[in-house]
């Protein structure tokens, strides 16, 4: 048999010596170049292999995005070589499929318990018949080890992942990460193409592409179905693709989408979205900004992004607020002796000092956070805003130490993190934020930085619904993740995944919480489907299992890994096709090999079910379009227009049937959040271009106290 290719996919951890040692056994490099899809020769300083083509297909179906990336690489060297395929992990994404082509034949993977997968991998490689092994060690980067890449030949790789689309202030944002830290090797010599299909049962008010603007073509295929595309040759992989679309606002409400297979319990995704009917209280705050000025911030213009974000934050503060700025690398440095009111003199001094500081040195967040906690004034609310790429390489990253510090010295302070770029240490920043009642945000360098900073500041100033508990009445529900109680900030929404007993039936969703300290309850009657009934969305089960696995991993980081946690993680990963700390993707050469090692093709079967359901949904949408005599209509798309530009209101489309969670509600409100179910009266004749969507949505809210400042006396 000819010598076949092998693939190994891993995620490089921060400061995890055991994981790095394990990777080293397979020849991985701990300091990789970064890009969306580079194939780098292993064990040599050579440049990445030539990228012949880079094709991306995205489908966003009511707030859930499925992304497929397929690339072809060329080895121009005469000899075969081993290479590592590197791919940055998008925020909140779970890998659902991995393929490698050998001799024109696609080989697909299966999820296996981690130790067993390694044992099979090693046994087969010893017999010179290389399999493929995908592993996850942490959060940053997936790596696929490919061997051999034929001399003067090509190698084709495909990867798919699922993720919820981020929603903020009624703006849904999808980002495809293309930024690369390594300038060399990031050029696509052939075609770079991206196609995005957007399906929404919630009316849309506008669309923008901050990253590519009018280079992105758009068309309305049918009611609730839009397509965006971008193609070019000789493109550089140094610019993220960011697409944002505005959802029509409404009253606060609950949406539910659900799926019920014929042979298992059902899965649901519940979305609670505060609408424009909720007023939020505003109180004076002390803002303590932690600005990362370490050497890693010099990459990809990150320090400039941080400066812009800080400027947007502090220039929008109210006269009743106060602020302090602490610069940090391996040591913190405050700009002022104490917190100051936001006078023109104080703001100007802070911005000049920040602009004069060049990035350099390592990164140690722990002492900077200690100093920030010491800047608070007793009896006055405070918020710490961390602006960083999360590239810590000094001191500790142990979550337990940070949690203990906040328990001992936090005193009610909330932490908000503004992560910059595709390499952010999301688990740590999320732990700091969520553990203090704050929020973690990650922004692409090609996004509207000022608008995103404005939206985050709005959340700092205006928490909306707190102490939320979710109850499902009428149907037995369990395993809801993440666990409550919950909090929703201004412009945000709450998504929870759960399971319900086989059989489904009528149910009532009750969300109870507090708005400005006053009790508030939101309710919604739904009908959860019976076995095999309704519109199938089997990907919900995979996403629930991934969220549950992520919660188990967080628990293990804080409390230590028990056998019960590990066993639960393995069972979820194998059954639902989730790669995590306790499972791996193993790709073998044939079905006979899977049978030889007793590996059931559960993930392959699950993917077939997901693909069949997806085809059925698309066919139903096409039938509806033909019935309505719909035809494609060109849609203008823009980046950032003048601030005073306002798109006209779109005309409504014909009413469409509602789904599980759809329909305008006389009580309980109507959700306009991504991931929701159907709604009536969908429509636009055409999506109209308009950037600054977040700023316009914020401007529609109840006016905040005047932000005018007076000079310091």
Residue 380's pLDDT is what?
87
pTM for the structure as a whole: 0.75
Query: Exposed, middle or buried by CB within 10 Å (0-12, 13-18, 19+), for 619?
Result: exposed
Q: Mean pLDDT for the chain?
A: 76
Mean pLDDT of 228-250: 82
Q: Is residue 538 predicted with pLDDT exceeding 90?
A: yes
Number of other residues whose CB lies within 10 A of the CB of residue 622 = 14
Q: How confident is the model at residue 181 (pLDDT cuts 50, 70, 90)?
A: low
Mean pLDDT of 283-309: 87
Q: How confident is the model at residue 280 (pLDDT cuts 50, 70, 90)?
A: low
Q: How confident is the model at residue 638 (pLDDT cuts 50, 70, 90)?
A: low
Least confident of 157-161, 388-392, 672-676: 672-676
Residue 602's pLDDT is what?
94
Residue 60's pLDDT is what?
92
Query: Exposed, middle or buried by CB within 10 Å (0-12, 13-18, 19+), for 541?
Result: buried
Q: Which of 57, 446, 70 is nearest to 228 (CA)?
A: 57
Q: Is residue 57 predicted with pLDDT exceeding 90?
A: yes
Least confident of 19-28, 47-56, 189-198, 225-234: 19-28
Helix or strand run (H / E) with residue 654:
none
pLDDT in tens, 646-656: 333 333 333 33
Collect all residues with Cβ–Cβ distance below 8 Å to 177 and sequence separation of at least 6: 36, 88, 90, 240, 422, 444
Phi, psi of 360 (to 5 degrees): 180, 160
Q: Is residue 31 predicted with pLDDT exceeding 90?
A: no
Of the ranges 166-170, 276-280, 400-404, 591-595, the best mean pLDDT one:
591-595
Residue 244's pLDDT is what?
84
Q: Is residue 18 predicted with pLDDT exceeding 60?
A: no
Residue 169's pLDDT is what?
74
Q: Helix 399-409 to helix 426-434 angle, to the nearest 10 degrees?
A: 20
pLDDT in tens, 441-457: 887 777 778 888 888 88
Least confident of 69-73, 141-145, 220-224, 431-435: 141-145
Mean pLDDT of 403-414: 76
Q: Is residue 236 predicted with pLDDT exceeding 60?
A: yes
pLDDT in tens, 303-340: 888 899 899 888 888 899 999 999 999 899 999 999 99
286-460 CATH fold:
Rossmann fold (3.40.50)
3-state secondary structure of 137: coil
Range 550-556, long-range pairs (CB < 8 A, 24+ positions): 550/580, 551/481, 551/482, 551/483, 553/427, 553/580, 553/581, 554/399, 554/427, 554/431, 556/581
Least confident of 111-115, 116-120, 235-239: 235-239
pLDDT in tens, 448-503: 788 888 888 888 887 678 889 999 999 999 999 998 888 888 778 889 999 999 88
Helix or strand run (H / E) with residue 604:
helix 602-627
Least confident of 344-353, 545-554, 578-587: 578-587
In order, the DSSP letters of 289-300 are: EEEE-SGGGGGG
Looking at per-residue pLDDT, the higher value among 239 and 130 belongs to 239
Reading the block at residue 45, the tokens are 């300083």
pLDDT in tens, 78-107: 988 878 887 776 767 888 888 888 778 888
- Are 656 and 223 contacting, i.e. CB atoms less than 8 angstroms apart? yes
From the centroid of its chain, how far is CA 652?
A: 31
Q: How confident is the model at residue 250 (pLDDT cuts 50, 70, 90)?
A: low
Distance from C-alpha of 445 to C-alpha of 442, rounded to nearest angstrom: 10
Q: What percent of the chain has pLDDT over 90?
A: 27
Q: How confident is the model at residue 631 (pLDDT cuts 50, 70, 90)?
A: low
Q: How confident is the model at residue 642 (pLDDT cuts 50, 70, 90)?
A: very low
Q: DSSP character for 51?
A: E
Q: What beta strand segments (E) does 103-168 contain? A: 105-113, 132-135, 141-149, 153-164, 166-168
Distance from C-alpha of 497 to C-alpha of 540, rounded to nearest angstrom: 8
Mean pLDDT of 138-156: 76
Phi-psi region of 128 (alpha: psi -120 to 50; beta: other; left: phi over 0): left
Residue 632's pLDDT is what?
63
Q: Which of 137, 198, 148, 147 is nearest to 172 (CA)?
A: 198
Q: Where are the domains of the chain?
A: 286-460
Distance from C-alpha of 47 to C-alpha of 54, rounded to nearest angstrom: 18
Q: How confident is the model at residue 28 (pLDDT cuts 50, 70, 90)?
A: very low
Q: Is residue 33 predicted with pLDDT exceeding 70?
A: no
Mean pLDDT of 231-249: 82
CB burial of 317-356 (b: ≥16 within 10 Å; e: otherwise) equals bbeebbbbbbbbbeebebbbeebbbbeeebbebbbeebee
Q: Is residue 424 predicted with pLDDT exceeding 80?
A: no
């Amino acid at each position: 048999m000819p010598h076949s290719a092998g693939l190994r996919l891993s995620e490089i951890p921060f400061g995890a010596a055991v994981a790095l040692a394990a990777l080293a056994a397979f020849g991985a490099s701990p300091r990789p170049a970064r890009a969306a899809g580079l194939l780098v020769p292993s064990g040599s300083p050579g440049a990445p292999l030539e990228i012949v083509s880079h094709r991306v297909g995205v489908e966003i179906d009511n707030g859930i995005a499925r992304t497929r990336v397929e690339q072809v690489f060329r080895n121009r060297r005469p000899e075969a070589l081993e290479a590592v395929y590197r791919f940055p992990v998008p925020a909140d994404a779970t890998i659902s499929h991995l393929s490698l082509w050998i001799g024109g034949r696609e080989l697909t993977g299966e999820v296996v318990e981690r130790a067993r997968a390694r044992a099979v991998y090693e046994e087969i490689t010893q017999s010179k018949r290389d399999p493929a092994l995908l592993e996850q060690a942490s959060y940053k980067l997936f790596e696929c080890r490919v061997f051999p890449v034929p001399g003067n030949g090509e190698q084709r790789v495909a990867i798919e992942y699922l993720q919820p689309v981020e929603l903020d202030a009624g703006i849904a944002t999808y980002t495809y990460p293309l930024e690369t830290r390594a300038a060399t090797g990031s050029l696509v010599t052939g075609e770079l193409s991206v196609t995005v299909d957007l399906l929404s049962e919630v009316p849309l008010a506008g669309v923008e592409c901050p990253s590519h603007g009018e280079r992105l073509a758009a068309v309305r295929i049918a009611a609730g179905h839009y397509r965006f595309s971008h193609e070019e040759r000789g493109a550089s992989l140094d610019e993220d693709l960011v697409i944002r679309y505005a959802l029509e606002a409404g009253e606060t409400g609950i949406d539910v989408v659900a799926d019920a297979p014929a042979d298992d319990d059902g899965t649901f995704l519940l979305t609670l979205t505060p609408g424009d009917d909720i007023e939020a209280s505003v109180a004076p705050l002390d803002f303590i900004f932690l600005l990362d000025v370490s050497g890693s911030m010099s990459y990809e213009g990150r320090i400039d992004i941080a400066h812009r974000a800080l400027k947007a934050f502090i220039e929008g503060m109210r006269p009743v607020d106060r602020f302090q700025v602490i610069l940090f690398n391996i040591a913190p440095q405050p700009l002022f002796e104490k917190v100051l009111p936001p006078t023109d003199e104080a703001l100007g001094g802070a911005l000049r000092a920040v602009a004069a500081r060049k990035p350099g040195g390592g990164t140690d967040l722990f002492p900077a956070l200690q100093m920030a906690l010491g800047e608070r004034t007793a009896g006055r609310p405070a918020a710490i805003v961390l602006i960083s790429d999360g590239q810590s390489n000094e001191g500790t990253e142990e979550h337990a130490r940070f949690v203990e510090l906040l328990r001992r010295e936090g005193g009610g302070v909330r932490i908000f993190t503004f992560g910059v770029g595709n390499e952010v240490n999301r688990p740590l920043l999320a732990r700091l934020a969520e553990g203090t009642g704050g929020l973690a945000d990650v922004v692409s360098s090609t996004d509207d930085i000022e608008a995103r900073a404005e939206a985050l500041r709005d959340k700092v100033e205006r928490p909306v619904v707190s102490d939320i508990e979710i109850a499902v009445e009428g149907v037995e529900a369990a395993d809801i993740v993440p666990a409550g109680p919950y909090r929703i900030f201004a412009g945000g929404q709450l998504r929870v995944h759960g399971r319900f007993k086989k059989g489904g039936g009528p149910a009532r969703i009750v969300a109870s919480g507090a708005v400005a300290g006053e009790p508030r309850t939101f309710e919604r009657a739904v009908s959860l489907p019976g076995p095999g009934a309704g519109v199938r969305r089997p990907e919900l089960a995979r996403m629930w299992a991934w969220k549950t696995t992520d919660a188990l991993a967080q628990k293990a980081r804080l409390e230590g890994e028990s056998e019960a946690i590990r066993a639960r993680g393995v069972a979820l990963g194998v059954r639902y096709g989730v790669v995590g700390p306790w499972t791996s993707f193993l790709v073998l050469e044939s079905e006979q090999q899977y049978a030889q090692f007793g590996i059931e093709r559960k993930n392959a079967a699950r993917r077939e079910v997901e693909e069949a359901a997806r085809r059925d949904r698309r066919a139903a949408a096409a039938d509806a379009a033909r019935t309505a005599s719909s035809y494609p209509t060109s849609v203008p798309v823009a980046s950032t227009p003048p601030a005073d530009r306002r798109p006209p209101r779109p005309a409504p489309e014909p009413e469409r049937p509602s789904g599980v969670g759809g329909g305008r509600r006389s009580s309980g409100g109507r959700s306009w959040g991504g991931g929701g179910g159907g709604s009536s009266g969908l429509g636009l004749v055409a999506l109209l271009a308009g950037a600054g969507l977040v700023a316009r949505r914020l401007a529609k809210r109840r006016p905040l106290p005047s932000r005018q400042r007076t000079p310091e006396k």
